[in-house]
Amino acid sequence: MRRKPIELAAVATAAVPGLTPTAVSSAADDPADFDSALLLDSEGKRWRVRSPRHAEASARLETEFLVLRAFAPAIRAELPFLMPTVAGSVRLGALSTFVYSHLAGSTRSVEELTAGPAALAREVGSALAAIHDLPHSLVSNADLPSYTPNEFRQRRLNELDQAATTGKIPASLLRRWEHAMEDVSLWRFNPSVVHGDLHEDNLLVDGSRVTAVTGWTDLRIGDPADDFAWLVASNEQDFVDAVLASYTDNRRDAPDQHLLRRAALSAEFALAQYLVKGIAAGDAEMVAEAEGMLATLAADVEEHGGQAISVEPLPGHAPAGAGVTADAEPSPAVTPSPAGSASSASAVTVAPVPAVTVVPVPDEPAQPVAVPPAVEVSPIPADPTPAEAAVADREPAGAAPSDVAQDGAPEDKAPAHPVAEDTSTAAINIVDVRKH
């Protein structure tokens, strides 16, 4: 059962002692996995609440907590963006809800990002490069998954076999994806640290700057192309090219020449993963939606050829995107719901042909939180300006996370971003509400 924002506000008061919400609104998130809300407290501080809808999502949040702890102050200080800080947690039955200190900035739709200034595309590319250049020890020390290129390819093939057993994947897509996954030349890349769930809802933007990256539930060592899938799915080739150019300039190692092909494959295959997730959850509406999007994608690929996802063309088919230039007329795109939400840059050109577009979940109307008669409830105002945020940050709320990390070391120093505070993860307070 989905929790309403006002219910999440009540849960947050148990997770963070002393927190007194005065306003609440819904927050963008993966709707199949999480219920989320933004809170404003009596001292003017903002908080984000994420509540899992099932055990797997709860495990992901607990993993994210471990991930955030692994980002030592020195590592955070090197990043061009801020990261979340866990303020508290509360266990409801078998599921754990987490409360995070709010980071300034707001999410943008894919359309808003691609229509934004050129500087924003450069910021996205720089953020991706910083993530992929993180030390591998960050992942291995946290005992998180690590895959070689061949292991990752085999994992994808196993997922394809699982999807095929549903009997709901069009045969043409199964052949197309299997051919790409068995094309060994496509999978020659240097593994890197990968965010694993990167999309527009996990980027906070202020003007033309990426201020923060959230949603660190799937950190791993694997294929950097996975973090490009949502970009390729946008079907905005100029934006993808600008991001990739900035990414290439900022990475220590040049990206492999087939990165965008694998990203396009990841974007398409996300529909099959969405279908499998819906079947596992017994969500008939989710399954029907996935089937419809898969049928649309199959029709588009049949009519227009689809994006180039393999090096060798599928037998009996012309190479996808062959002869297509940047001026070619793009074909219709497929629009999915979030599924889990993907040679040098100059050597790769992905034709603007059928793709998958990830559309953000619209916010629900803000709802007031029931508070004592003496407290006036009002809707959450817009984020403060950088100058106002800087002043507010000098007056921490009594319920805010400690300024000292769990190991006793001082919190990391935020990079020069006046729009939000940044501290390493503080010790959380876990409360079992069944005992109260």
> How confident is the model over 366-384, as pLDDT tens digits?
444 444 444 344 455 555 5
Per residue of the chain (436 residues), what is the pLDDT tens digit? 788 999 999 999 999 999 999 999 988 788 888 999 999 999 889 999 999 999 999 999 999 999 999 999 999 999 999 999 999 999 988 999 999 988 988 899 999 999 999 999 999 999 999 999 999 999 998 899 999 999 999 999 999 999 999 999 999 999 999 999 999 999 999 999 999 999 999 999 999 999 999 999 899 999 999 999 999 999 899 999 999 999 999 999 999 999 999 999 999 999 999 999 999 989 999 999 999 999 999 999 999 888 889 888 777 665 444 333 333 333 334 444 444 443 333 333 334 434 444 444 444 444 444 444 443 444 555 555 544 444 344 444 444 344 333 443 444 444 444 444 444 433 444 445 444 4
Q: Give the pLDDT score at 399.
A: 40
Q: Give the pLDDT score at 266.
A: 97
Q: Are 17 and 372 in contact (CB under 8 A)?
A: no
Rounded CA separation 198/230 (Å): 7
**Residue whose C-alpha is closest to residue 293's, from 200, 186, 168:** 168
Q: Give the pLDDT score at 243.
A: 97
Q: Which residue has the tokens 């924003």?
A: 120
Q: Which domains does the chain have, with CATH numbers?
A: 5-106+362-435 (3.30.200.20), 115-347 (3.90.1200.10)
Q: Give the pLDDT score at 379.
A: 53
3-state secondary structure of 406: coil
217, two tokens: 């539930």
* DSSP labels, 374-405: TSPP-PPPPPPPHHHHHHHTTS--TTSPPSB-
Q: Which residue has the tokens 């007056």?
A: 395
Q: Give the pLDDT score at 235.
A: 87
Helix axes 237-250, 118-132, angle to 10 degrees: 50
Rounded CA separation 192/221 (Å): 5
**Residue whose C-alpha is closest to residue 297's, from 330, 336, 338, 240:** 336
